[in-house]
Chain A
Amino acid sequence: MEMEIPYTVSARPDTGLYNAKIGIWLFLASEVMLFGGLFSGYVFLRMGAQPGYWPHGMLNVPIGTLNTCILISSSVTAVLAWASLKMRQFTQYQMWMAATIVLGVLFLIIKLCYEWPEDFKRCGVYIKQEALAKYEPYLGNQYLYSKGLPPRVEITGELENEDALTNPNTREYDLHVDATYADPTNPANDRPSFFQRPVSDKVVKINKADVDFASKFYPSHNTFFGCYFLIASLHALHVFGGLIVFSYFLITGSKLYRKNPEHLCNRVEVAGLFWHFVDLVWIFVFPLFYLL
């Protein structure tokens, strides 16, 4: 025998809210603190980084922009789905809901199947402080110094001898460097920039004795990528969770709609609030990691 919990569907008069709406706002408050903690970590580490050790322009800005547009559009379609339900137009609701799910899935596909695998192909080699002068032709630190920009301490590109990362017997990294390092004093190659610098034909041989740390662009490559992959994957998990909830409402919604349309409407509203929050997190991720 189930008992009736008051205000599950209708609003309590003095608060003007039904239970789940208060619940989701409280949950979002805790989410703000979760991502707030992560972004504070980002600020803390970035402020504490030595000059040159916080990289810029490492991510694919056009792809990030595309994903931003996709996620914002999905927020619009989520609102339209809710509005259709409010006007009791169920077929329209299904259409907008399906569109939201498609956009969300598209976001994840672009991120997980294209953007990140591309990142994982690239490699960065940190040069020891004392060896920086040796690689000056590729780093262009004199030029950067004259412009008042932080120095470059890392050479990025794609590895020709992949086994150099794991094989202790290889003596050097053969790196197909990014265009920036092929022509380091060209202002067009300054970072950050909208389009990523393509890999040049130039192969730079970097002696392992001169290297501080080298790895592909994995989370462990530096604290920038650590922060980026942690926050972005947590964000992707949230997108995934939202998609599961939306799919559930799309598939099973008609049953509840026939019984109590307002209840379904509330559920979509609550899930929509969560979705907008996830969208908002991305609005912070995009400029902080892609643009700044």
Chain B
Amino acid sequence: METSTAIHSHDPHDPHGHGDHAEHHDLGFWRTYVFSVDHKVIGIQYAITGLLFLFLGFCLMMMMRWQLAYDGKPLPFFGPLLARFVKNGGMDAGGVPGVMTPDFYNSLGAMHGTIMVFLGIVPIAFGAFGNYLVPLQIGAPDMAFPRLNMASYHAYWVGGVLMLSSFFCPTGPPKSGWTSYSPLADLMDKQAGLIFNGQTIWILAMVILISSSLLGSVNIITTVIQLRAPGLTWMRMPFFTWTQLITAFLLLLAFPPLEAGSFMQLMDRVFGTSFFLPHGEVFNNQLVNVSGGGSPLLWQHLFWFLAHPEVYVLILPALGIVAEVITNNTRRPMWGYKAGIYAVMGIGFLSFVVWAHHMYLTGMGRVVSTFFQTTTILISVPSVIILTCLLLSLWGGSIRFTVPMLFATAFLPEFGIGGLTGIPLAFTSTDLFLHDTYYVIAHFHYIVAPGTIFAIFAGIYYWYPKASGRMMNQFWGKVHFWLSLICINMIFMPMFLQGMAGMHRRGFDGGKTYTLSAPALHWNVTIAHAAWGLGLVQFIFIFNFFWSMKFGRKVGANPWNATTLEWSAPSPPPHGNFVGPIAAYRGPYEYSVPGHPVDFVPQADPQGPRTDAGALGH
């Protein structure tokens, strides 16, 4: 019923027909589901693998929260179980099975960060959503380099599995934090063997993951430049595709310096060079026998040159998803579509010149600090422009509170909290106090967890019918949303208080050794329970996800009455995506065009008003 208006004259096939099956079976199981070159299959592969890693990273964090809340007590049930599997006695501190050692806590912290950023969010936000949607949104039959696309997915999971294999090293996983700061990361666990030790495996896995994302970003950019359908000019491209394009540029240009840094750290660990080791370095009370002459700061510069643009790699696709969901559910064009695009470009550019605001405490000097304070404050301008555009898009819209819209509307204030609490961190005077406290943890988790992850959920609920031909259950979707919203804020809001009380982010005993933060320590228990609650709530989503695949309500090509090109393809789209020739005749968000009988005009509809909301200045 909802679908009928979206089927076009050039799309005579029954959208429920699944005409692709015959083709797929011709290729056989392996080439259809494992070594597929179809961007949609690869996108789904990325999504499933990424969600698995995301949950794994979350499990590591739930264990850490136990340790912080109940220091010295054995982790119930899982603790003794893990004590058997984890090497080097990570889970039997003091001989009690199930009690976490400080070293193992450090490993969990390092692996949580690494998994969440490099194996969870980026592969979902960029790999999965980018792969699946960008070719569809620009009306292309596939990515420009399908085999390269396959290679980048397979490099990704190989890198991920290699990263996880560090759990089985004799000395356990890397312990130097997700930032792998030298000199610690240069010298840690070298006794375990040249290659098979946590930190070296971390480096090797990172090199593979970086190569994977380089291939992916080359592919996305080329696809957007070369394969746009006729009529799909730059200013008719959906906001989501714009954010993916800029994200791809960030990955393309920011990752290689970290690859360079990784090679240097690899040389330091394997060949005994001193890129990051100064003269006279002492480790474990022994003078390290190296030539010296290196600089630990060099690693920090190379690392943060990637890792700050990486923050925008995490957030830009989320902004894109939210923009799509909000325009669709407010039934009106995106407010300030062009301003938003220029702001995304501005963020992309500025994100390359803010990295050293992570390094105020290193004593870079006042001039350098001032420069980076200025650029950091500058980058808040385009961020606020985008958030304002999205917020004002709600104004006067007839809002439908569907499940994706719930997640998208929640994203706005949560992202706002994350962004505004970043401002005190941008100034050296306040950062000197807040640096490395739980305040920082709360700040960037507000951006990434109730920010990006909520946007990812919005995107999954929104495009699930496109990918599967079925709707996810809306009631359980709403339950999932409300419970997640409550839990996630109970996790991160108290961290601001703990951080301002001075609780250090890397203490393994829940801050007990810091008498300064004693009044804020009781929050650890609240946070732990909220975290486990959030973990439980996700099972609603997991169940809904798989149950709907089989039993969800069947839908046609365009269940949300949306306008962008992907909704003109059948659900799920066949191999080659579109049934007939596809072209764009207007801007991406032609909702509620005055005088038009229905409240949306698809981009691919050759009839109907030829308007570009952006150009007309709604």
Contact = CB atoms under 8 A, between A and B. Distances in A.
Contacts of A226: 264, 267, 273-275, 294
B252 interface: yes
Nearest to B273: A226
B431 interface: no
B383 to A, nearest CB: 24
A126 B141 contact: no
A126 B291 contact: yes
A137 B271 CA distance: 34
Interface string B195-226: 00000000000000000001001110110011
28 contacts: A1-B575, A4-B141, A6-B226, A6-B227, A7-B227, A12-B226, A19-B145, A29-B252, A30-B218, A36-B256, A37-B257, A37-B258, A37-B259, A37-B261, A44-B295, A44-B301, A45-B275, A45-B298, A213-B289, A215-B291, A218-B272, A219-B271, A220-B272, A223-B293, A226-B273, A226-B275, A230-B273, A234-B263
Interface residues of A, number: 46
A219 B273 contact: yes
A252 to B, nearest CB: 16
B585 interface: no
Point out which of A126, A220, A221 has the most chain B C-beta atoms below 10 A from its C-beta: A220
B292 interface: yes
B141 A26 contact: no
Contact of A22 (B226, B267, B272, B301): B226
A23 B141 contact: no
- Chain B binding surface SS class: helix
A221 B291 CA distance: 6
Contacts of B575: 1, 3
B275 A1 contact: no
A213 B289 CA distance: 8
Given A23-B145, A45-B275, A223-B275, A37 B256 contact: yes
Interface residues of B, number: 50
Contact of B256 (A3, A34, A45): A34
Interface string A214-253: 0100111111011100100010000000000000000000
A70 interface: no
A37 to B, nearest CB: 3
A15 B261 CA distance: 35
B269 to A, nearest CB: 11
Contacts of B263: 38, 230, 234
B605 interface: no
B255 interface: yes
Given A1-B26, A5-B142, A33-B253, A213 B291 contact: yes
Interface in B217-242: 217-219, 221-222, 225-227
Contacts of A69: none
Given A19-B222, A213-B290, A234-B263, 6 more contacts: A7-B226, A17-B226, A20-B145, A38-B260, A44-B298, A220-B274
A31 interface: yes
Interface string A33-64: 11111101100110011100100000000000
B153 interface: no
B496 interface: no
A216 to B, nearest CB: 12
B222 A26 contact: yes
A222 B298 contact: no
Given A1-B575, A29-B252, A30-B214, A23 B295 contact: no
Contacts of A35: 260
Contacts of B291: 126, 213, 215, 220-223
A194 interface: no
Interface of A: 1, 3-7, 12, 15, 17, 19-20, 22-23, 26-27, 29-31, 33-38, 40-41, 44-45, 48-50, 53, 126, 213, 215, 218-223, 225-227, 230, 234
Contact of B264 (A48, A213, A218, A230): A230
B80 interface: no
Contacts of A37: 256-261, 302, 305
Interface of B: 23, 26, 140-146, 148, 214, 217-219, 221-222, 225-227, 252-261, 263-264, 267, 271-275, 289-295, 298, 301-302, 305, 575-576
A45 B258 CA distance: 17
A234 B259 CA distance: 12
Nearest to A126: B291
B141 A3 contact: yes
Contact of B255 (A1, A30, A126, A223): A30
Contact of A223 (B148, B259, B294, B576): B294
B294 A45 contact: yes
A34 B289 CA distance: 29
Contact of B253 (A30, A53, A221): A30
Contacts of A234: 263
Contact of B218 (A23, A50, A222): A23
Contacts of A40: 257, 301-302
A3 B257 contact: no
A38 B217 CA distance: 21
A115 B142 CA distance: 48
B480 to A, nearest CB: 37
Contacts of A41: 260-261, 264, 275, 298, 302
A41 B260 CA distance: 9
Contacts of B254: 33
A230 B293 contact: no
A33 B221 contact: no
B350 to A, nearest CB: 17
Contact of A220 (B146, B256, B271): B271
A223 B218 contact: no
Contacts of B290: 213, 220
